[in-house]
Amino acid sequence: MDEPSDLQLIQDALRGNSRAFDLLVLRYQDRLVHSLQHGLCGREEALDAAQAAFLQAWMRLSTFRGESGFYGWLYRIARNAAITRRRKTPPTGSLDQLHEHSGFEPSNQNPHSAPEDFLERGEEVQRVRRALQQLPDEFRQPLVLREIDGMSYEEIGSILDIPLGTVRSRIFRARQELLEKLERDEQSQR
């Protein structure tokens, strides 16, 4: 049996079927949190922004025009929620942030890997995350949407409300800056 399309679920939700919206949440929650976490903020903030976005999306579902995909519309809502939240609350440290930046992911452990292999991978992940977080938002967001979310340039332009040429140039520049930061980091490690 085929899964219902986003549009079908939206129409069902607008007719009062809250289970249809639950399916949309299940379909996109992990992807949304992951994108926000890498593109805008830490894990805790990403979870909060995603929750706020789903609530706003539910309340504004009737305004969805279908010009872009549901995920793109949802991401724009979540992005705005994350930016607004960041402006209102000063940054603080947390155990989750420390865990997030350590590169340690228990679910990624392979019991057959040598501990030093795991540590090396963790260090590399940490280096890339640090370098990615140093990029300005205007470059990091399109790069994350392209490389982590696998979105097309057109989708990214629609989500970020920027022209296609700007999307291409920002992704190109983000890749260049990321490589430069990683090279500088590697040289300083020697």
CA geometry: angle 72, 78, 79, nearest 5 deg: 85
- The 10s digit of each residue's pLDDT in 40-92 is 667 778 788 888 889 999 999 999 887 778 988 898 888 888 777 767 665 44
CATH of domain 1-92: 1.10.1740.10
pLDDT band with cut points at 50, 70 and 90 for residue 144:
confident
Taking each helix axis from N to C end, the angle separating 115-134 and 137-147, rounded to the nearest 10 degrees, works out to 130
- What is the distance between the alpha carbons of residues 161 and 1, in angstroms, rounded to a whole number? 36
DSSP class of residue 3 equals P
Residue partners of 8: CB distance under 8 A and separation at least 6: 20
CATH number assigned to the domain with residue range 103-190, chosen from the 4 options 1.10.10.10, 3.80.10.10, 2.40.40.20, 3.90.1150.10: 1.10.10.10
For range 2-16, the mean pLDDT: 90
Comparing C-alpha atoms, which of 50, 41, 33 is closest to residue 87? 41
Interval 128-157 mean pLDDT: 83
Taking the domains of the chain in order of start, what are their residue ranges?
1-92, 103-190
Please tell me the least confidently modeled range out of 15-29, 36-50, 111-125, 140-154.
111-125
Q: Identify the residue with better confidence: 83 or 140.
A: 140
Helices (H), the chain: 6-14, 18-39, 43-59, 70-88, 95-102, 115-134, 137-147, 153-160, 164-189
What pLDDT score does 38 carry? 73
Measured between alpha carbons, how far apart are the two ends of the chain, in Å? 56
Query: Is it the case that residue 39 has pLDDT exceeding 50?
Result: yes
Confidence of residue 11 (pLDDT cuts 50, 70, 90): very high
Residue 162 pLDDT > 80, yes or no?
yes
The per-residue pLDDT for 111 is 46
